[in-house]
């Protein structure tokens, strides 16, 4: 079985042991070995090492959940990066013996079900005036609820070349129009327009790259 989890999550893995009558088996000492797929190393509870490490599992509740044993794996402590692990459970002594395996995959989950907000821009330069039309979009649709937008033009070292100011009203299509004298903008070097867009009371920040040729 393969299960997927967000990065850095503490996952409680479980191993169920039952006897010949189908009743949960208590008082056993099962173990789990956790192998990192990317390099074949094993988790020892603190770090990853070479050679298999059999970690003791805990009996959860012998009265109400007989036969259930668990191990809590903290993926943040184990590195916190996207990774796949093989969990191998074993009970090789006592009245009930058994082996089971599962794969746990930790991946980056979206922080929200809403599409990301993204900036869009169109630039114009007639040699006298540099103009930038900037908007915010979600799922390819321009937003019309941005209440104001500010922008600054900076070079690759974050030195301010021009404060493009704040525009308090957009067009009906959600576009904000900025302009500045073109002479202050160097040619053929990487530049960045930093943008702050206000929606209700929340300010969103964006960066737009450009080169004036």
Q: Give per-residue pLDDT as tens, 193-209.
A: 999 999 877 888 999 99
Residues 6+ apart with CB under 8 A from 150: 164, 165, 166, 167, 195, 196
For 8, phi then psi, to 5°, come to 75, 10
| CA 196/CA 46 separation, integer angstroms | 43
Q: 2-107: which CATH topology? A: Immunoglobulin-like (2.60.40)
| CA 63/CA 59 separation, integer angstroms | 10
For 184, phi then psi, to 5°, come to -80, -5
Six-digit token pair at 56? 């003791």
Q: In which residue ranges of the chain is pLDDT below 50?
A: none
What pLDDT shows up at residue 81?
Answer: 87
Topology agreement, domain 2-107 and domain 117-211: yes
Six-digit token pair at 27? 């008082």
| CA 212/CA 193 separation, integer angstroms | 12
The mean predicted confidence, pLDDT, of the chain is: 91
Q: Are 194 and 205 contacting, i.e. CB atoms less than 8 angstroms apart?
A: yes
- As a CATH number, domain 117-211 is 2.60.40.10
What pLDDT shows up at residue 42?
Answer: 98
What pLDDT shows up at residue 115?
Answer: 64
- Domain residues of the chain, as ranges? 2-107, 117-211
What pLDDT shows up at residue 166?
Answer: 96
What's the whole-model pTM score?
Answer: 0.54
Q: Give per-residue pLDDT as tens, 71-94.
A: 999 999 998 888 999 999 999 987
What pLDDT shows up at residue 149?
Answer: 96
């Amino acid at each position: 079985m393969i299960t997927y989890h967000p990065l850095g999550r503490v996952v409680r893995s479980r191993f169920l042991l039952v006897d010949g009558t189908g009743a949960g088996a208590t008082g056993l000492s099962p173990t789990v070995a956790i192998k990192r797929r990317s390099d074949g190393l094993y988790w020892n509870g603190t770090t990853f090492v070479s050679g298999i490490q059999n970690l003791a599992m805990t009996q959860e509740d012998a009265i109400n959940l007989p036969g259930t044993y668990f191990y809590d794996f903290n993926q943040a402590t184990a590195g916190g990066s996207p990774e796949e692990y093989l969990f191998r459970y074993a009970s090789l002594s006592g009245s009930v013996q058994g082996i089971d395996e599962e794969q746990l995959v930790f991946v980056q989950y979206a922080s929200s079900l809403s599409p990301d907000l993204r900036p869009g821009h169109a630039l114009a330069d007639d040699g006298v005036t540099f103009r930038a039309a900037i908007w915010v979009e979600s799922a390819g649709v321009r937003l019309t609820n941005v209440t104001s937008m500010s922008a600054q033009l900076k070079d690759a070292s974050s030195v301010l070349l021009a404060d493009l100011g704040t525009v308090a009203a957009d067009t009906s299509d959600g576009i904000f129009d900025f302009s500045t004298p073109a002479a202050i903008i160097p040619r053929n070097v990487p530049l960045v327009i930093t943008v702050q867009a206000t929606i209700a009371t929340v300010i969103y920040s964006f960066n737009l790259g450009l080169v004036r040729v």
